[in-house]
Structure 1
Amino acid sequence: MNIALIGLGMVADTHVNAVKAADGLSIVGVLGRDPARRGRLRTAMRCPFIPISRRCVLMHRWILCCLTTPPDARAPLVERLIAAGKPILMEKPIERDLSSARRIVAACDRANLPMGVMFQHRTRTAATALRTAIDAGSLGEIATVDLRVPWWRDQSYYDVPGRGSLPATAVGYDLAGHSHPRSGALASGPDHLGSSMTRTTALHRLEAEDWAGALFEMDCGAVGSLMATTAAFPGHAESITVQGTRAAAHLSGGVLTLTHLDGHLDRIGATAASGGGADPMAFTHEWHQRAIEDFADALRHGRPPIASGQSALARMRSSTRCSAPATPSADRGGTMTLGCVAIGIDHRHIFGMIAQMQRVGVRCLGFWTDGTPPTLPGS
């Protein structure tokens, strides 16, 4: 099956190596802005490339497209790929914000065009085993879930244009998604958010946040916590711990440990780097290979891929709930309305805080006080 690679960023090499290792797949076309990188990839593939231009993206020699451009550069390309009827397997996240991602998925759905998202961790042996254990009821009723993504990125990572910039947080949309099995009792993700917090730590200079935490409840009744960061030097393996009434499951670094209440242990998988340190590409191409092979097989047999556009939207919805700032500003594309009741001596302190919040886009609809009312613009 012939594949076009559109986008030549840092993950392009992983896609090239994944396709080279796969049976029955080959890259025959490439679109990228850097001629030197195009030439290097052509040499690495040891096969002729058809250089795709933006004017002739609708080529007939390839069947599907691996889309690895920055998220905010995808919408025009997706439109042309839909017009050409070319199935799309894109890197995560779909877009920088949830509404833009919804538009892309909806456009593919309307055109009945197969679309997949590169959640390569879903193909790992240990993650597959965890999904199977949950679906089979081996853990019993799920009681608690704990997710940890303690990654590290150097400042140079965020110095690249588009990374760590608003509207998305640096950690919210995809880092937490790496370790979530998304199956069975956990398929709905964090459904009811109890509380959340995002912060920019002293370790990075960026517009968005590099630390996010949340407490949540699922429709199945399980409660859980999440912490995702790129400010945990030197970077550690992401993990998920699921506690059930029959057994506990702990997945970290490619190894799943099942601890049954009767005392016996099961271990599945092998330790492997996942790109959680300073080098985000320090992981094997085999997981991408499995995801690409799964998407190609889904096309052949008319079945959904392991990570569809709709499932990726569910991931973004969960991440958006967990990473939304407590007081969104107008600059972040959101508004908050506020009512105030101030009783006590330090009214100036209370209304001073409201005035500060108004300056970042919070709208105060009104207030009641037992003291002298201040003047608040727009209240």
Structure 2
Amino acid sequence: MHKTGIAIVGVGLAATPHALALNDLRDQVEVVSVVGRSRERLEPFAHQYGFPLGESYEGVLEDPRVDVVLILTPPHTHLDLVLRAAAARKHVLLEKPLDISISRAELLVQACRDAGVRLGVVFQNRFRPAVQRLASLVHCGALGPLAYAGLDLRWWRPQPYYDEPGRGTYARDGGGVLMTQAIHSLDPLMWLAGDVSSVTGITATTLLHSMEAEDFASAALRFESGASGYVLATTAAFPGFPERIEVAGKNGTAVLEGSALRVVFQDGRTDEFRDPSSSGFSAKPMDFSHTAHRELIKDFCAAIREDRAPSIVGEDALRVQRLIERITLGHGGTS
């Protein structure tokens, strides 16, 4: 098997699970280089994981060994980096969100489409075994037509987390809890329940944090299927609790709480399943397994070899960001 050549761009908070995942996949991928702005961060990161240091992003784009650029930089940098990668005919695997606004995100997705390169997005929760088990039940019709679907994400981040320059600002992150934390759970919610036709939402910054964007959001949803829905998302719930997705259908109700799935059917059957993953819901945001990242990267590289779309594409991320924008605005019909 030809190994997929990958260059890592950025070594911030999100880089660790990717590095662990890439080392697990050494039989399938080769990390060609690691580049970023801070040499002080790059050198220890590259040494720890055994990756070669690169000189610059320009060098990555000119390197014929690089098939994929894995972009892990802050959201406001994504558009420029992706436009340059697409022009160089490099496939892109991009950390969420796509960028800080819908208009920039749409440009990014269109650039990859026009260049004929694959664009994948790091929504790793879809690859968690419990999420996949729940999705199989919903998509095969085992729960029957859906009555409602909801997300309850009550996480905790202490103030020092938001004291990092740019974090929780619109200019760098594009928002707060919705764009940075809840986005990972909104993606599987929409994967399960479909597109949203109408939204009534509120957002706020609570007295627990000093930050520009929201640390609390709540919304009532109407899905295009006719099912109802809800979202509650916050990083002000000390000490942090596993996120909960609940889906009720004509035949039964499924509750996914963290990595534990319980399904109760109206005919008396039950189904219980637990996987070892977690989601960083407490003051340690990277306290979770890298196995879902590994499966996501594996799928993306396979998509390139097989000349197919990856499981999660740019249009999926656009759907989620459009929902986030509508919750932030407080209302919205189909977009």
Please list, as runs of the form range in 1=range in 2, the aligned pairs for 1:187-266 lying within 5 A after superposition.
187-188=194-195, 190-193=196-199, 195-266=200-271
Q: Which of 142, 146, 150 pairs up with 2:146?
A: 142
**Corresponding residue for residue 127 of structure 1:** 131
Moved over 3 A (4+): 182-185
**Corresponding residue for residue 2 of structure 1:** 5
Distance in 2 of aligned mates of 1:234 and 1:185:
28
Verify: 1:63 aligned to 2:70, yes or no: no
Q: Which of 96, 115, 118 pairs up with 2:122?
A: 118
Please list, as runs of the form range in 1=range in 2, the aligned pairs for 1:24-39 lying within 5 A after superposition.
24-39=28-43
Q: Which of 308, 315, 325 pairs up with 1:310?
A: 315
Percent sequence identity is 37
Check whether the contact 2:11–2:73 (CA below 8 A) recurs between aligned residues.
yes
Distance in 1 of aligned mates of 2:164 and 2:134:
36
Q: Which of 60, 75, 81 pairs up with 2:79?
A: 75
The CA deviation at 1:54 is 3.3
> Residues 184 and 170 (structure 1 numbering): CA distance in 2 closer, same or farther, change over 3 Å?
closer
- Decide which structure has the larger Cα Rg and report it: 1
**Corresponding residue for residue 98 of structure 1:** 102
> Residues 177 and 76 (structure 1 numbering): CA distance in 2 closer, same or farther, change over 3 Å?
closer
Distance in 1 of aligned mates of 2:254 and 2:77:
39
- Unpaired stretches in structure 1, ≥5 consecutive residues: 327-379
Check whether the contact 1:148–1:176 (CA below 8 A) recurs between aligned residues.
no
- Unpaired stretches in structure 2, ≥5 consecutive residues: none
Q: Output the amino acid matched with 1:159.
A: D
Verify: 1:165 aligned to 2:169, yes or no: yes
Verify: 1:42 aligned to 2:49, yes or no: no
Report which of the two has the higher share of helix.
2
Q: Output the amino acid matched with 1:56.
A: G
Q: Output the amino acid matched with 1:230.
A: T
**Corresponding residue for residue 91 of structure 2:** 87
The CA deviation at 1:325 is 5.1
1:260-293 CA-partner distances (Å, limit 9, x unpaired): 0112210123253211111111111111111110
**Corresponding residue for residue 176 of structure 1:** 182
The CA deviation at 1:37 is 2.0
Distance in 1 of aligned mates of 2:65 and 2:249:
50
Q: Output the amino acid matched with 1:249.
A: A
The CA deviation at 1:175 is 2.6
Distance in 2 of aligned mates of 1:86 and 1:134:
35
The CA deviation at 1:95 is 0.7
The CA deviation at 1:82 is 0.9
**Corresponding residue for residue 186 of structure 1:** 193
Check whether the contact 1:134–1:184 (CA below 8 A) recurs between aligned residues.
no
Residue 231 of structure 1 aligns to a residue whose secondary structure is: coil
TM-score of the superposed pair, with normalisation by structure 2: 0.92
> Residues 30 and 185 (structure 1 numbering): CA distance in 2 closer, same or farther, change over 3 Å?
closer
Distance in 2 of aligned mates of 1:224 and 1:184:
13
Q: Output the amino acid matched with 1:8.
A: V
> Residues 121 and 185 (structure 1 numbering): CA distance in 2 closer, same or farther, change over 3 Å?
closer
**Corresponding residue for residue 23 of structure 2:** 20
> Residues 304 and 187 (structure 1 numbering): CA distance in 2 closer, same or farther, change over 3 Å?
farther
1:5-29 CA-partner distances (Å, limit 9, x unpaired): 0011111121111100123112111
The CA deviation at 1:45 is 2.3
Check whether the contact 1:135–1:184 (CA below 8 A) recurs between aligned residues.
no
Higher RCO (C-alpha 8 Å, min separation 6)? 2
